Structure 1
C-alpha cells in the first residue's frame, strides 16, 4: 500500500473563461503521507481553500489528478464522490455547523444516520470520549462552550473513522487557550492513533502543531517547513507576503 493518504498531481483549478478567468491553483503537486499532520498556509487568495476542496473531492480540478488512498478521483461520478467523502474523509470547519435542536450525541451520530446506518450508542459515546466530552452526550450546543462545540464537530467528523481529516480554519472561531486544546487533541490523534490531518490555517501558532507547513502563493507551492515553531513560520510568511505577483 502506498504510504501517501492523498496525492495531488499537477492540479490546476481555474474559474471562469477568457479574459476574466481566474487561476486559483497552478500545477500544484503535493503528497500527504499517512499518519502525518500538514498545515497549509499562504496570503489571502493564495489558493489554500481551493487546494483543500480539490484534495478532499469537494471541488473538481480543471486539470491534473487527485488520488485518495489509491482511488483516482478524476472521472468519478458525483454519487461515487459523495460516497467516498462520506466513508473515507472527515471535515471540520471554522463554523461548528451543529444542529441546535440535537444533543451532542445526536449531532455526532448524524453522518451515519444520513448514510442509512444505525450507529450504536457505544460507538457514539466512544467518539465523544475521544475528544474529552464523554460526560456531555446529552447536552445541546447552546449548553456547550465554543471549544466544546468544536470538539463535538470533531467527534462527528471522526465517527466514520475517516482515512483523512480535513480542517479549514478549525480553530478560527476559538480563543487562544481553547484553540490550543483543540490543536493538542489533533496532534495527539496523529501521534497516538495514526490519523492523517490536513489543516488550512492563517495562524502560525496553529501551524506549529503540524509536522510540516506547506506554503502557497498565487496558487503555487512556495516551499515548506518541517518541525518549525511559530516564530519561524511567521518569519517565512512575512517573506512570502513580499513575493511579487
Structure 2
C-alpha cells in the first residue's frame, strides 16, 4: 500500500431538507506515503472539513476513508478513537499545550492518556526531530510561539503515526518562525527517522506556506478543482486568484 490516506467518493453534508449544506462533493484523492501535500481554496471551500474527514475527526456523509490501509468507516467510535490516537497525528493553529507541564511532559501526554507509560527515549527522539532536545525541561511560557508549535508537532509524532494532519500550523506565527516550522515539516518528510513520519497533509491559505509542499490540491465549493506538483508561491497565488474570480 503506497497511500498513507485514500478518499473514495467522499461527501459531507450538514442539515436536511431545504436547509441542507454540501461541504464536500465526491472527493476522490490519495495522499501517498513520503509526500507533503497542501490543501488550499477560498474561504468556505471545504478545506478544514476535508482535513477533519480524512483524519477521522468527523464522519463523512458518504464515501470511504482509508488510513494506512484501514477503512475507518468500519470502526466503532471507541475503535476510531484508539486508531486516531495511534495512527494519526494532529497539529492546529492553536498550540494547546498545558502550561504547567514541561515540553517533555506535554509530548508524553498522548501516551499517558492512552493508559501507557511513555518511553522517555521516544519522547527525546521526537523532540530532537523538531530541534528542541535542549528545551525538554522548559514550560510553554518559557518558549517562543514557534518553539511551542514545534512541541505540539513533537506531541503529534510521539505515537509514530502514519500521517500528520496540520490545519493552518503557521497561522499564529510570524514569517521567520513560520518558516522554521515549515523547515521542520519538510525534514520530517524528506529525512524521517527509522520509524518516523514521512507523510504530511496540511491546510493553509498562504501561497508561500504551500510552496513547501510536494503538491497542492485546490478546492472550490466542496469539489477538487486541480492540483500543482512542485509548486512555487507565484504559481499557487495565480491559481488562487483564478479561483477567487466569480463565475458568470
Fold equivalence (TM over 0.5)? yes
Q: Paired residue for 2:234?
A: 231
CA distance in 1, matches of 2:4, 2:212: 19
CA distance in 2, matches of 1:102, 1:74: 35
1:200 correspondence with 2:203? yes
Q: Paired residue for 2:91?
A: 92
Most deviating of 40-49 and 68-77: 68-77
Moved over 2 A (4+): none
1:11 correspondence with 2:10? yes
CA distance in 2, matches of 1:67, 1:228: 26
Q: Paired residue for 1:143?
A: 142
Paired residues, number: 244
Aligned CA RMSD, in angstroms, stands at 1.0
CA positional deviation for 1:230:
0.3
Unaligned runs of 5+ in 2: none
CA distance in 2, matches of 1:12, 1:122: 41
1:101 correspondence with 2:100? yes
Q: Deviations over 1:136-191 (max 9, x none)?
A: 11111000000000010010000000000000000100000110110011111101
TM-score with structure 2 length normalisation? Answer: 0.96
CA distance in 1, matches of 2:246, 2:188: 35
- The 5 Å alignment of 1:143-182 reads 143-182=142-181
TM-score with structure 1 length normalisation? Answer: 0.98
Partner of 1:45, secondary structure, is coil
- The 5 Å alignment of 1:120-139 reads 120-139=119-138
Q: Paired residue for 1:218?
A: 221
CA distance in 1, matches of 2:224, 2:204: 15
CA distance in 2, matches of 1:236, 1:84: 36
CA positional deviation for 1:120:
2.3
Partner of 2:138, secondary structure, is coil
Partner of 1:54, secondary structure, is helix
CA distance in 2, matches of 1:112, 1:239: 45
Partner of 1:135, secondary structure, is helix
Q: Paired residue for 2:245?
A: 242
Partner of 2:9, secondary structure, is strand
CA positional deviation for 1:5:
0.7
Q: Paired residue for 2:113?
A: 114
Partner of 1:234, secondary structure, is helix
Partner of 1:195, secondary structure, is coil
Partner of 1:32, secondary structure, is strand
